[in-house]
Each structure stands twice: as structure tokens, then as C-alpha cells.
Amino acid sequence: MSRLPIAVAIPTKNEGLNIAEAVKSVLGHFEAVVVVDSHSTDDTAKIAAECGAEVVMYTWDGGHPRKKQWCLDHVRTDLDWILLLDGDERLSPGLLAELRQIFADPDAPRPAAYDIPLGYWFSGKRLRHGYTIRKRSLTDRTRSHYPEVGDLDAPGIGEVEGHYQPVADSAGSLRNPIEHQDLDPVTAWFERHNRYSDWEAWLEHHPDVKEQVRRVKSRQGQLFHKAPFKPLVSFAYMYVYRRGFLDGRAGLDFALAMSFYRWQIALKSRESPSP
């Protein structure tokens, strides 16, 4: 079977428990699979290479471009299309089949990017009701880029772009998901979101940067951006409106965890002095 004319870039740092599944889900289906590793202190790079991926090292210099835009600028630039896959993500068979249909005709017109649904796992269970999000993971790098948001001094994010999408001339939507299945313990989720809440709280005191971020968030993110009482709204939306209760205990745990994340942001924002 021919390979898709797409470069897969997998940005990683200490993804030793997850990287093998990520690489295996794409290897042999795409023209290139490149793991871009930030000098992991575990076996991430070794495992990725043993699985058959090319491994390159990335060192952030504290400025732009950050890691994902660096991938667009440097990873197999002979291929216009690039798929950014996190180390704890993997492609579903349905998504692979959908991509083969889209790229069957090399001359067919396509948008500059595709928004892909995320199949989210929490505490070992696939969530099917409470949480829906789309990521702009597949882009034509000649017609898209990550914005240079003025948050280089913000805490919590560092080398990787924050929770915003690449800007593209046009975007289509795919039906089949990328599976986000983190095999790390749930404490890793809370550690990450503790850092993310530092960044979100910092934005509350930098309205110009916050507006930059709002403009490049997903439509869902832009709507939630305006909501009052975010911890309560988050829980009600996920657990009641989106019927997260149908996912059982995992659905309740995740709705509570996300509500706690929103509460952290508000609390840290109130505690932090204005610049």
C-alpha cells in the first residue's frame, strides 16, 4: 500500500510510556514519521528509534518559533502536508482510511488545514459523551502557521505553543478521531493542568495577549472564553448538557477534574498581583 504524502511530526518530552503506540499507529502509512524530542530524560528517544521513527533533537532558545512551528519549518519540508501528533496520541484506523480517501487524487483541491476530533481517554476509559474537542492537527504548511503570541514570559507553557490553533487560509473537518490515550498515571494529568492553569491565570492579567489567544482558539474555546462562573459552567456543560454521566465514574471524575482546573485558574488569577 502506498504511503500518504504527509510528514508526521511527534513532539515529545518524557513520553516513554506512550511513544511506542503513537509511532506504531502511523509507521508505514505516511511518507515520514519524525519524533522531535526535547532531550527527554527517560527512554523516549530510544523507544521511538527502535520502533522505526526518525528522531531529531529540539532545543528551545526561549523565543519564536516554538516547538510546533519549528516542526512546520524544519521537519521534511519537501512534503507540504504535516500531521502534528502528540506523544500520547495515536491515529484510529478510521482516520487512516479517511485520509487515504482525501489524498487518493493528488491534484484534488483541499483546504489549508483539517480539524480532527479528539477521542479522549481519562482514567483508563474512553469518554464518549462529556468532552468534545477538535484539533487542527493536519495542515498544509505553505498555507498555515502558528501565531506568535506574546506569552513568551508566561509561566506554565514554555517551549510548546499554548492552547490555540494554527492559523490557516481555510479549514475542513474530518469525521474520524485521533485517540488521546495517555498511559501515564492520572497524577501526570493534574501536573500538566497545574502548569496550564499558571498560563491561563497569567493571561487574565495581560488582556492584550489574552485577546490574541482568544482569536486563535477553536470556536468552542472562544465561546467558553466569554462564560461567567466557569467552574460551574464547565461541570454543567460536560456532565449534564453533554451527558457525561453516561460515561460512568470516569465521566464524573473528568467533569470534576476540568471544573477544578477552571477553579484553579480563577483562584491563581485573584492571588496574582497585576503587572
**DSSP codes, 155-210:** TTTTTS--S-PPEES-EEE-SSPEEE---S-HHHHHHHHHHHHHHHHHHHT-HHHH
Task: Name the 3-class secondary structure at 124.
Answer: coil
pLDDT at position 269? 93
pLDDT at position 215? 81
pLDDT at position 149? 92
For 219, the enclosing helix (H) or strand (E) is helix 219-225
Which are the contacts of 270, defined by CB distance < 8 A and separation ≥ 6? Answer: none
CA neighbor of 93 nearest in space, from 181, 11, 179, 18: 179
Per-residue model confidence as pLDDT tens for the chain (275 residues): 799 999 999 999 999 999 999 999 999 999 999 999 999 999 999 999 999 999 999 999 999 999 999 999 999 999 999 999 999 999 999 999 999 999 999 999 999 999 999 999 999 999 999 988 999 999 999 999 999 999 999 999 899 998 888 999 999 999 999 999 999 999 999 999 999 999 999 999 999 999 888 887 766 666 666 677 899 999 999 999 999 999 999 999 999 999 999 999 999 999 876 65
CA neighbor of 203 nearest in space, from 159, 240, 150: 150
* CATH level 3 topology of 4-271: Spore Coat Polysaccharide Biosynthesis Protein SpsA; Chain A (3.90.550)
Query: What 8-state DSSP symbol labels residue 245?
Result: G
pLDDT at position 164? 86
Residues 59-102: pLDDT tens digits?
999 999 999 999 999 999 999 999 999 999 999 999 999 999 99
Task: Name the 3-class secondary structure at 119.
Answer: strand
pTM attached to this predicted model: 0.94
Q: Where are the alpha helices (DSSP H) in 62-151?
A: 67-74, 93-102
pLDDT at position 224? 66
| Bridge partners for 159 per DSSP | none
Residues 234-259: pLDDT tens digits?
999 999 999 999 999 999 999 999 99
